Structure 1
Amino acid sequence: MKSQTTSPAGVPLLEDDQMHSARVFAGYQHATWELHHIPWDAFRADLVLPEHIVFAKGAIVGESNVVAATHGLLNEFAMDYDFSQFACIWGYQEIQHHLAFQIWLQLAGHSIAFGTTASMREAYPPGVTRAATLATNVICEVLATHAYRSVARSMHEPVLAAILKKASGDEARHAREFVHYTAQQLAERPEERASVLETLYIYMGTTRDMYRHPVSRFKGNLPELENHETIDEMFAYFAKVDVSGSEWAKCCEQLFKYFSTLTGYKLTKMSDVRRAIATEESGTEKASV
């Protein structure tokens, strides 16, 4: 009899090569956390700084985008059950981030009006290609991973630090799965490779956009967010605590590694990305990783 593969928690895994999301689900159940795992009773009001409030509000606005993003992914990948199932799992975890930050903000004596978070509900239009949509999410998750990790290291208020550490781990796992699905999409449609390279360049290709998140490009100018903290303020605080720029450098390094693996080009700096895009446009043979 064939031995049954199990998850780290000892749960038998569904053996279906077309259901990668089932393995993700099992793995996430072992690695994930719930709101009751946060040490809420350890909250220290005396350690909350004004900039922490601004950061939390920006994080809440950014994370509240999850409903629109999940809606968009389910629409764009309506033909793909496996990825759609992953999108639901991902969305659930992102909602938890949003609610955890909301609860912390409430403990700190502040709040965000419902209309502000509700303004993020409008769904995104489909991407240029499905691979480009997935690649955008890779970037989003990697940026969030490093932002949360960096701020957590600098955070003295224990509850917010705990939330950030938990959320950072989630975002890193999400990034890996979006890489998996991007690779799967490119295997089926290699002609979408150029759009993946272009996505990396659009969001990461200019120095003026350091410490900036793709959500800001799409929804930073919503009328409901005028004079309100947004994800830009969250990343501005990331830039403030990342004094040496070392975490940003790690973030970029991770993205170059992921996109090198996805596209087959050796990418270590943005000039490599520009050359790769030019190669794709010219139709000449690419240099392999």
Structure 2
Amino acid sequence: MLYPELFRQLEAVRWNMESDIPWDRFDASRLTEEQAQTIKMNAITEWAALPATEMFLRDNREDSDFSAFMSVWFFEEQKHSLVLMEYLRRFRPDLVPTEEELHAVRFEFDPAPALETLMLHFCGEIRLNHWYRRAAEWHSEPVIKAIYETLARDEARHGGAYLRYMKRALHKFGDEARAAFAKIGVLMASARRTAQALHPTNLHVNVKLFPRDTIQSRMPDPQWLEAWLDRQIQFDAVWEGKVVERILHNMSLLMERSFASVQELNRYRKEVTAAVAAQAALAAQPRPA
């Protein structure tokens, strides 16, 4: 099992909200209204770990190891929401999200293949690590800068934990896992070709609720994410390139094969998908009597 070891590793570096956040360094003159509004939006977005955890537990009922790890991931992700709300409670109480605003992002996700979902969230942790690093640079107020730096480190560690479960999946499922991971890797590394930010909170997850079936569509301002990325923290092509590089680097390590570009990863996806199809066709052939 991976859960006991991952619990110890994450427990050893867990930060304390009271003692590890430099609350006494707050400088009101360096917090703008625009910046404060984005903190509220991120606090609500982080609350979406709740429906994501419900999805993970439902779709991984046969995997008690991974389901147990969700107890750690869920705790730390909800803590992200809480520390952002605590910042607002202390310094901008008028912007603390209401319970109704938080509850609005809790809705049921349609069932999805567990391997694809695992890879999707692995890539999501990489992307969020880079978003928060850029947010820390954009903010000028010292306390919120420190908070975003802290959250970014958490997201990187979560990505590492997901990667451990992905390595385990390769041993259990072989080419099926390789095909699933490559498929989502190509999607999540192709953000420059899409009109929207490729992150789990911005993807459609419930066909019956479409188009209000993304986390972002249920925010107080559904358009805030694109403005935050493009106009505020300016998550440009250079930063997007960093995300793509990390995805390709980790896929290279995972598959023990070098991927220098999304195109190379896509060729690999086609190759391994064909292998899975051939295996399925062979298994479907009638056996001689």
Q: TM-score band, normalised by the shorter chain?
A: 0.7 to 0.9
**SS of 1:268 mapped into structure 2:** coil
Aligned CA distance change for structure 1 residues 83 and 151 (closer, same or farther; 3 Å): same
User: What is the identity, as a one-letter code, of the residue corresponding to 1:272?
Assistant: E
Contact 1:135 1:199 in 2 (8 A): yes
2:240 pairs, out of 232, 240, 248, with 248
TM-score (norm: length of structure 1): 0.82
Q: CA deviation at 1:119?
A: 1.7
2:55 pairs, out of 37, 52, 72, with 72
In the other structure, the counterpart of 1:175 is: 159
Corresponding position: 1:34 with 2:16: yes
In the other structure, the counterpart of 1:118 is: 103
Q: CA deviation at 1:49?
A: 1.7
Contact 2:252 2:259 in 1 (8 A): yes
The CA distance in 2 between the partners of 1:176 and 1:139, in whole Å, is 11
In the other structure, the counterpart of 1:22 is: 4
User: What is the identity, as a one-letter code, of the residue corresponding to 1:147?
Assistant: W
The CA distance in 1 between the partners of 2:120 and 2:236, in whole Å, is 26
Percent identical residues: 21
1:60 pairs, out of 11, 19, 43, with 43
> Bigger CA drift: 261-270 or 182-191?
261-270
**SS of 2:152 mapped into structure 1:** helix
In the other structure, the counterpart of 2:82 is: 99
Corresponding position: 1:259 with 2:251: yes
**SS of 1:218 mapped into structure 2:** coil
Corresponding position: 1:228 with 2:220: yes
Aligned residues: 264
In the other structure, the counterpart of 2:208 is: none
The CA distance in 1 between the partners of 2:226 and 2:167, in whole Å, is 28
The CA distance in 2 between the partners of 1:44 and 1:144, in whole Å, is 26
Contact 2:104 2:219 in 1 (8 A): no
Contact 1:54 1:234 in 2 (8 A): no
Q: CA deviation at 1:79?
A: 2.2
> Bigger CA drift: 196-205 or 176-185?
196-205
Corresponding position: 1:216 with 2:198: no
Q: CA deviation at 1:90?
A: 0.7
Q: CA deviation at 1:254?
A: 0.7
Aligned CA distance change for structure 1 residues 53 and 270 (closer, same or farther; 3 Å): same
Name stretches of at least 5 consecutive residues in structure 2 with no aligned partner: 206-210, 277-289
The CA distance in 1 between the partners of 2:253 and 2:117, in whole Å, is 17
The CA distance in 2 between the partners of 1:223 and 1:195, in whole Å, is 22
User: What is the identity, as a one-letter code, of the residue corresponding to 1:221?
Assistant: R
Aligned CA distance change for structure 1 residues 101 and 235 (closer, same or farther; 3 Å): farther
The CA distance in 1 between the partners of 2:163 and 2:235, in whole Å, is 29
Aligned CA distance change for structure 1 residues 236 and 257 (closer, same or farther; 3 Å): farther
Aligned CA distance change for structure 1 residues 206 and 94 (closer, same or farther; 3 Å): closer
Name stretches of at least 5 consecutive residues in structure 1 with no aligned partner: 1-17, 285-289
Contact 1:211 1:248 in 2 (8 A): no
TM-score (norm: length of structure 2): 0.82
